[in-house]
Chain A
């Protein structure tokens, strides 16, 4: 799953269904309708049980064994050994730290940019439709493609980012009167090996993720902005509140629910990051995340049990966010 899947509503239709067919004259249908409802839900429930619940239970079970995928060795219960192995592994711990860092930094930047972009689109100006269409482009591009595309742009030798940073931008800003030369001075003199320099690897991955997923964030926040009634602002204008005050005192508080939803949804997504980093850096430790570690343990190492333990850890971490999320929904309901 990825950010292409829409954020579900915080408002669940757990209340009554839209129509109460039971009120219809054919009251004797109640039973057959209930049977029909179950019949119609059943295929989905079965599929979901088969492709998600059963494997999830299996993941837990396998995480206590030494199971492998391609081996005739007997599968034995080894208790918490897999978890102990992960706990003691430097690589796993690095992966955990990287995942947390990636999540916090990228989601924060995305939130900030998302709010700005949403505010832009929400204001009235001629090119609005164009901006709205444009931000859909990064969202539509497959993550694998964005990753390769940015790797090309960040190339140390002939990447366009380096060309912009080292040649084009200093040239451009030096035309600005008074401060131009000083501005030009802040750009690097030499091309930067973004992908090879260990302290720039994770930031590069974050940059790609920000580019790719800010639109999604912006759209969620935009949806929240659009339900703020206009008369709230009119009243504020009468009170003499300026734009800045309006934003902090009206827009932001009213936007809070939408921002929370967006935050949690993106956090869930960022925490299981795989594509963007795997394609750029493979199994490099400086950018290793929990998902990459798990996939590698499974496919390269053929350790089904240990990979399952690592899966379970990711699941539990994400589960915390899901709990918060469903909590929020209940709050909304009452």
Chain B
């Protein structure tokens, strides 16, 4: 064997030209080299250009964000600071708006902002953040966080209650509570979401019915409409919702429970309260819908499946999020016949409608080296002015009460002001009191509840399993 040396393509060719190796050997060695090259590249650990991803750049839209009014009182003394925000994803239609909004911020304050495109899927985003935090990285100063994450990410936050001051009073209290961990405000509510009842105005008229305000009314109306429609359309069903074993079922279940006096699974003091008569009754009631006013398959539905049945004109009622309003109004089957209202409540005199709270907040990392500039950007993006522009241009739902009453918002999206009472009564999932074990609590809840609505477990047994497992999780923590 020739003296061992690291083979390179150039070396091989040189050896061949100098006659030290023959043609066959050259071909053989070159092939081996070709096979090994990717191997070395991969095992080398460095991300070579071959693996680099060509990020699709969103098309700049100069008109996006044209209605943004710069809020008064932005600090200009931080000019020259450089910060970064992990923003929306490249495929998010809101991205041009945010990029322009950030550019306006730089113009007004002199703070330079690097807008980093984030992941599209929610869980991927959380993973991305966790990795940054695990490394205590200062690369990114401002993040967007989901409403159920505060407990998970609180230890990496800069508390912002002092920076917000009185301004926080204008926000929905429920949202402020969800973003408060151990007395610290760790996220500024930015936009929101809550469960809604969608109904078919044309069908209610046809059968002489009013939009239901209680679950009993919903049941009887759904039954009546379904019986009538099934004569012509056997696929028609009364009420669709999200019954699959996933986070969405926790949202649905919480609404059933709270609206019928069953509590919030875990109370604000961290006690497991789910095993109570009202909650059990609420779960049993939902189970009774399946194969009646709801299709058997509803226990496998997530939002898109629910939406598919609804927009095809195959359901009288649907529980879904506000962002599907626009899509419903574009459907060839139901456009113009879409009504929305708060979700129904129980029959008891003290029962009130409940909507599970969703939405996102602005979050400042404690590993940021420019925390003041970062807080300024977070405040700017969640300011009333910005929220109004978001509501007008992007039909995103404000977290500040007064924005709902703004005439410009109503003119642009008439349904937004009508949603205000829903958000006022919105209920947070028990994420604040459970902190970073919320995902486990929710898993127990939706897995047990899914068994109830599927008919394989009684509500009593499920509630007691929930209590046992949740207690074990909380105690073992």
Q: Is B a genuine binding partner of A?
A: yes
Chain A residues at the B interface, C-beta cutoff of 8 Å: 66, 69-72, 81, 85, 88-91, 156-157, 193, 195-199, 281-286, 288, 296, 300-303
Candidates A156, A193, A285; contact of B448 at CB < 8 Å: A285
What is the number of contacts between chain A and chain B, taking CB atoms within 8 Å? 80
Of residues 197 through 245 on chain B, the ones whose CB sits less than 8 Å from some CB of chain A are: 235, 244-245
Q: Is the CB of B296 within 8 A of A196?
A: yes
15 further interface pairs, Cβ-Cβ under 8 Å (given A90-B468, A197-B296, A283-B443): A72-B155, A88-B472, A90-B469, A156-B295, A157-B297, A193-B295, A193-B297, A196-B298, A196-B300, A199-B456, A282-B246, A283-B246, A285-B245, A285-B448, A286-B456
Identify 29 residue pairs between A and B in the complex whose beta-carbon atoms are under 8 Å apart, listed by A's number.
Answer: A70-B134, A88-B472, A89-B469, A90-B468, A91-B444, A91-B447, A193-B297, A195-B300, A196-B296, A196-B297, A196-B299, A196-B300, A197-B454, A199-B456, A282-B244, A282-B245, A283-B246, A283-B443, A283-B447, A284-B244, A284-B450, A285-B456, A286-B454, A286-B456, A300-B439, A300-B440, A300-B443, A301-B437, A301-B440
Q: Is B455 an interface residue (CB 8 A)?
A: yes
* Least CB distance, A15 to chain B, in whole angstroms: 32
Closest A residue to B437 by beta carbon equals: A301
Q: Is the CB of A88 within 8 A of B468?
A: yes
Candidates B155, B235, B446, B465; contact of A90 at CB < 8 Å: B465
Q: Which residues on the A side are within 8 Å of B133 (C-beta)?
A: 70
Q: Is the CB of A198 within 8 A of B455?
A: yes
Q: Is B94 an interface residue (CB 8 A)?
A: no
Compute how far the CA of A283 lies from the CA of B456 in the bound complex, rounded to whole angstroms. Answer: 15
Compute how far the CA of A88 lies from the CA of B475 in the bound complex, rounded to whole angstroms. Answer: 13
User: Per-residue CB proximity of B287-303 to A under 8 Å, as 1/0?
Assistant: 00000000111111000
Q: Is the CB of B439 within 8 A of A285?
A: no
A196, A288, A301 — most chain B CB neighbours (10 Å) = A196
Q: Which residues on the B side are within 8 Å of A301 (C-beta)?
A: 437, 439-440, 443
* Least CB distance, A37 to chain B, in whole angstroms: 17
Compute how far the CA of A197 lies from the CA of B235 in the bound complex, rounded to whole angstroms. Answer: 18
Total number of B residues with any Cβ neighbor in A under 8 Å: 34
Closest A residue to B130 by beta carbon equals: A70
Would A285 and B468 be within 8 Å (CB), given that A156-B296, A196-B299, A196-B300 are in contact? no
Compute how far the CA of A194 lies from the CA of B300 in the bound complex, rounded to whole angstroms. Answer: 11
Closest B residue to A305 by beta carbon equals: B476
Would A296 and B443 be within 8 Å (CB), given that A90-B469, A302-B436 are in contact? yes
Compute how far the CA of A69 lies from the CA of B450 in the bound complex, rounded to whole angstroms. Answer: 28
Q: Kindly list the 3 A-B residue pairs having the minimum CB-CB distance in the complex, ordered from nearest.
A: A198-B456, A70-B130, A193-B296
Q: Is the CB of B451 within 8 A of A89?
A: no
Would A196 and B454 be within 8 Å (CB), given that A70-B133, A283-B447 are in contact? yes
Compute how far the CA of A87 lies from the CA of B469 in the bound complex, rounded to whole angstroms. Answer: 11
Of residues 428 through 477 on chain B, the ones whose CB sits less than 8 Å from some CB of chain A are: 436-437, 439-440, 443-444, 446-448, 450-451, 454-456, 465, 468-469, 472, 476
Q: Which residues on the B side are within 8 Å of A156 (C-beta)?
A: 295-297
Closest A residue to B299 by beta carbon equals: A196
* Least CB distance, B26 to chain A, in whole angstroms: 25
Q: Is the CB of A285 within 8 A of B476?
A: no
Compute how far the CA of A259 lies from the CA of B130 in the bound complex, rounded to whole angstroms. Answer: 48
Would A198 and B451 be within 8 Å (CB), given that A89-B469, A90-B468 are in contact? yes
Q: Which residues on the A side are within 8 Å of B443 (C-beta)?
A: 283, 296, 300-301
Q: Which residues on the B side are within 8 Å of A70 (C-beta)?
A: 130-131, 133-134
Closest A residue to B156 by beta carbon equals: A72
Q: Which residues on the A side are within 8 Å of B465 (C-beta)?
A: 90-91
Compute how far the CA of A299 lies from the CA of B44 in the bound complex, rounded to whole angstroms. Answer: 28
Compute how far the CA of A289 lies from the CA of B476 in the bound complex, rounded to whole angstroms. Answer: 23
Closest A residue to B127 by beta carbon equals: A70
* Least CB distance, B179 to chain A, in whole angstroms: 20
* Least CB distance, A318 to chain B, in whole angstroms: 25
Q: Which residues on the B side are within 8 Å of A285 (C-beta)?
A: 245, 447-448, 450-451, 456
